[in-house]
Amino acid sequence: MAREYQAVLATGALVVLVSACAASSNRAQEAPWVPRGKPQRSGNERERVLTAEASLPVDASLESILAVALARNPELLAAEARVEESLARVPIASRLPDLELKQEIWAVPLSRPWDITEAGMIMLGVRQAFPPRGSREAQARAAREEVEIARSSLQGLKLDVIARAKRSYFEYAAAHGEAAIHLEHAGITEKILELTRVYFRTGKVSEQDVLRVGVALVALHKELANIEQRRLTSIARLNTLMGRTPGAVLGPPAEPNPMVLGTQVDELIARAKTERPEIAAARHAVNRSEAERQATDRTTLWPTIMVGADYWLQPTMEPTHAYAAMVSINLPWLNPKRREEAEAARRAVVAERRMLEALDNSISGEVAAAHARYEGALKTHRIVTEDLLPAARKSFDAAQAGFVGGQVQSLALLDALSALLEVRLSEVRARLDLLVALVELRRAVGDEMEKNATTSHEVTQ
């Protein structure tokens, strides 16, 4: 009898092994879709990123900063990992439930409960559940749509990082430009102070004139400290976006030129509705909910089938060896939970469609508002560069010539210099506002819009 029981165990092990191999082969045929992972960075691309990062302490170009940020930004790395996670879940969605192994021992005498050789029957079997046809395929489609949602979210985050990096870079360049203007005006003010002292010794100006010029010079140095604080803040933001320490060294920035768009707002809105990653993610969310609804409908309308096979050893009766087969189904029609799940899935589809419609509407508003801010910033920049700045320069040049010739008081020259300084700073800030408005407009549209743009320098000429 002991040998027969060993034969039962060996036979059962063989049944499990064969069943597992068959199930594995079946599952391999059920998932023909091969998910594509994130594209691996080529050696040339990695070399380009390393070269860009190495150049940052000497020459902080926007191109180098964007290259490093897109390769090293921690938020992007986390989003890429989320894409990889969703990819790994795709084949899981189409798999069969676990294969089940069962063993039963019947009619063991209570007088000798440890002696299974006197049992009336010893059974060893396997069970496999098969969900309704089409349900696993629908779940796999939902998982694939989840991958596309993650990819669209990653693309949207890339656009966010680009926009934040550009804005911080333009603020960095503006602070750098303001500092250069202040230093230039401080040098001019020092020369005025020297001439004012000479005129004071000859009695042409009063001591109050000398003191006022000196106060103006101190005010310029004080403002330089505020500009330095803004410059360091911009550096910290850029380094954070690039995954570097906030205090890492950045070289001087290049002076950016604003772009002038030749695209109408209606065209930009139409482009945004096709190119915004958020729109793509919302569409994939609708497709995912549709697939989940189909899977739910299948499990609501059709039962799950359980099939199994048992080997029987009957030590106390004939025949000693036998087998049994079984089929069972669940009854989803009698369970209100199934109908409630189906209704919830249908409502989820409606909700995702409403979200898509709401997003489509909000994008139109975002683009229109961003375009209005851009148009306003462009007009302001043109007024400052084409009208105010030339007039302020002419006023200062005339006052400077009169002061050197002894015909203009130092206070009048100082007022003209202050007006020129204010206008020059206004030009830097107007250019910053225009650049930032263009960044926001590009983010609202969802692309770079380079093909219909020219530099403001080209338009001015």
The identity of residue 180, as a single letter, is A
> Given the DSSP bridges, would you call strands 259-261 and 453-455 parallel, antiparallel or unpaired?
antiparallel
Q: What six digits make up the tokens of 142?
A: 């939902």
CATH class assigned to 31-96+131-460: mainly alpha
Taking alpha carbons only, the member of 181, 170, 165, 141 closest to residue 286 is 141
Whether residue 327 contacts residue 383, with contact meaning beta carbons closer than 8 Å, is answered with no
Whose tokens are 């109408």? That residue is 264
In this predicted model, what pLDDT tens digit does every residue of 308-340 receive, in sequence order?
999 998 888 888 899 999 999 999 999 999 999
Backbone angles phi, psi at 324, to 5 degrees: -145, 150
Per-residue pLDDT of the chain (461 residues; tens, 9 = 90+): 454 544 445 445 545 544 554 455 444 444 444 444 445 566 788 888 888 888 899 888 999 999 999 999 999 999 999 999 999 999 999 999 999 999 889 888 888 888 888 888 889 999 999 999 999 999 999 999 999 999 999 999 999 999 999 999 999 999 998 888 877 777 766 666 666 666 666 666 666 666 676 767 677 667 788 888 999 999 999 999 999 999 999 999 988 887 777 778 899 999 999 889 999 999 999 999 999 999 999 999 999 999 999 999 888 888 889 999 999 999 999 999 999 999 999 999 999 999 999 999 999 999 999 999 999 999 999 999 899 888 888 888 887 777 666 655 666 777 787 788 888 888 989 999 999 999 999 999 987 654 444 444 443 33
The span from the CA of 242 to the CA of 55, in Å, is 14
Domain-wise residue ranges, the chain: 31-96+131-460
